[in-house]
Structure 1
Amino acid sequence: MMFQTYGNRNHPAVLFFHAMGVTGESSEPVANYLQDRYFCILPTSTVYCKGQKYVSKADEVRQVEEYLKPQGVERLELVVASSIGADLAMAFLTGTKLPIGHVFFDGGQFAQIGKGTRRMMTPFLYLAIKSLYWSKGGTLKKILWCDDNSIKPYFIAAGKNLTYTNLRRQILDSLKDKPFPALSEELQKHLYFEFGSIEDHFKYRQAVIEAYPCGNYPVFEGYDHMQYQIRDPKGFAEMLAFIAEQDGMPKLPFIRK
């Protein structure tokens, strides 16, 4: 893995888990608005690191914990997981011994997909991500709901370093058709599972509610996948800070009543 940090190490820590097809730098626009108050840690999965080998989610968790220790991080005030980053974040939640204040899942891809289907998905995902590098971001609109120039560099950087073997290993180790891991009711109360009402991942919401009935499930009405984070990183950062500091969601005008 590779790591970037923003802010003072003495401030409360925020750990980000990025989406598929991008590097950890994709969280930089949000971290820029948090770094005055928080110590932000942005890891990039080994899948998108040149010369590195993806082993397993457990190994990714190990690498994150080994990085956090010498940074002096003894508690995480907030964990932010986007899209498939939710899958790795869940492995982190169930594997770490670090105290965690709150967790925010932005469009978490809580799919439970059979091994055969995941195996068939891999070549298509590989070509989609590599095409972003080959076309310098030109194919983004065919893959995502938007093709904002502000996010293209993160896709291009990820596509450049991606190997088929690493992606295959990650996909076979992710989104498994197994029950979601058990989490205590107390922890569930501090989990926020946000979905945009028009995003494809909205279909996973009910299964997550049934697995974690004590969690919080805000719906961003009229929003697509990670749209608030991408289009308004300042507003998204202010929302995260509110959750961490006030233990609840701010009254945003687009939250479904």
Structure 2
Amino acid sequence: MQRKWQMNFIALCRRQQCICSGQKYRSKKDEVQQIIRFLGKQGIKEIELVVASSIGADLAMAFLTDAKIPVKYIFFDGGQFAQIGKGTRRIMVPFLYLVIKSLYWSKGKTLKKIMWCDDEKIKPYFIAAGKNLTYGNLRRQLTDSLEDKPLPKLSEELQKHTFWEFGSKEEHFKYRNAVMQTYIYGNFPVFEGFNHMQYQIWEPEGFARMLETIIETGRLPNPVVKKA
């Protein structure tokens, strides 16, 4: 019996580098191969919907361009499609390491300074990420992410089934124009009045219903979402 699968690649991406103690991040290629092996063991030959958030979008894009598994729809929530040079990425490593580690050292008190909230429901996950993050994993992850290369190519048909969403108040909104110019057949909804991943975190049921609508109809609710 065919099943509808939603793969959240940000969770799979960060499983290696942040959340699971003892895991080693090697490369995007290695991460993609792990995902492919997992899907193979589960007998999954087609994915209804790929969902990726923030820097997880970078890994999801690698999966979409490398894997041979058919994907019907894609939803990027605040995808960090930044094109940053290697030198800048090297400088970012110690800074980001201290920022993420501070979440563990402060027991989550620095979350609001880093993000837009200090929601008690998600704070334990950020604390766990800070606890288990290693400098080597972060360095390797930034080495092959946020590359200063042109954005990967997607077929016209896949672009038509892809949704690049950004919150109108988030920092990553600045990447939207470059994405729109690259993927001219895509869909580019905006969460009006929301910050980075804010709707997904604060309204997970509404976010899930929106994704179900994509699977069932191939379209987003109109309007998608607007902050009251």
The structure richer in helix per residue is 2
Cα distance per residue 1:167-217 (max 9 Å; x no partner): 001011100111011110000000000001111000000000011000000
Equivalences for residues 47-196 of structure 1 within 5 A: 47-48=17-18, 49-196=20-167
Instruction: Provide the secondary structure at the position in 1 that maps to 2:49.
Output: strand
Cα distance per residue 1:7-32 (max 9 Å; x no partner): xx9621110012xxxxx3xxxxxxxx
The change in CA–CA distance for 1:253 and 1:44 in structure 2 (over 3 A counts) is closer
Which residue is equivalent to 2:3?
11
Tell me how far 1:255 sits from its aligned partner. Answer: 5.4
The alignment-based identity, stated in percent, is 64
Which residue is equivalent to 1:35?
none
The change in CA–CA distance for 1:183 and 1:72 in structure 2 (over 3 A counts) is same
Q: Are residue 204 (structure 1) and residue 175 (structure 2) matched? A: yes
1:219 to 172, 186, 190: 190
243-252 or 197-206, which deviates more: 243-252
8 A Cα contact 2:169 2:193, kept in partner: yes
Q: Distance in 1 between matches of 2:209 and 2:174?
A: 27
Q: Distance in 2 between matches of 1:57 and 1:43?
A: 9
Q: Are residue 45 (structure 1) and residue 45 (structure 2) matched? A: no
46-55 or 225-234, which deviates more: 46-55
Instruction: Provide the secondary structure at the position in 1 that maps to 2:41.
Output: coil
Tell me how far 1:253 sits from its aligned partner. Answer: 6.1
Tell me how far 1:43 sits from its aligned partner. Answer: 6.4
Tell me how far 1:45 sits from its aligned partner. Answer: 3.1
Cα distance per residue 1:147-169 (max 9 Å; x no partner): 11111111111111110010001
Q: Distance in 2 between matches of 1:51 and 1:253?
A: 40
Q: Which amino acid aligns with 1:163?
A: T
Runs of 4 or more consecutive aligned structure 1 residues displaced over 4 Å after TM superposition: none
Instruction: Provide the secondary structure at the position in 2 that maps to 1:102.
Output: strand
TM-score, normalization: structure 1? 0.85
The change in CA–CA distance for 1:61 and 1:253 in structure 2 (over 3 A counts) is closer
Instruction: Provide the secondary structure at the position in 2 that maps to 1:142.
Output: helix
Q: Distance in 1 between matches of 2:95 and 2:203?
A: 30
8 A Cα contact 2:78 2:197, kept in partner: yes
Q: Which runs of 5+ in 1 are unaligned?
A: 1-8, 19-23, 25-41
8 A Cα contact 1:12 1:76, kept in partner: yes
Cα distance per residue 1:55-81 (max 9 Å; x no partner): 110100000111111111111100000
Q: Which amino acid aligns with 1:111?
A: A
Tell me how far 1:254 sits from its aligned partner. Answer: 3.7
8 A Cα contact 1:43 1:64, kept in partner: no
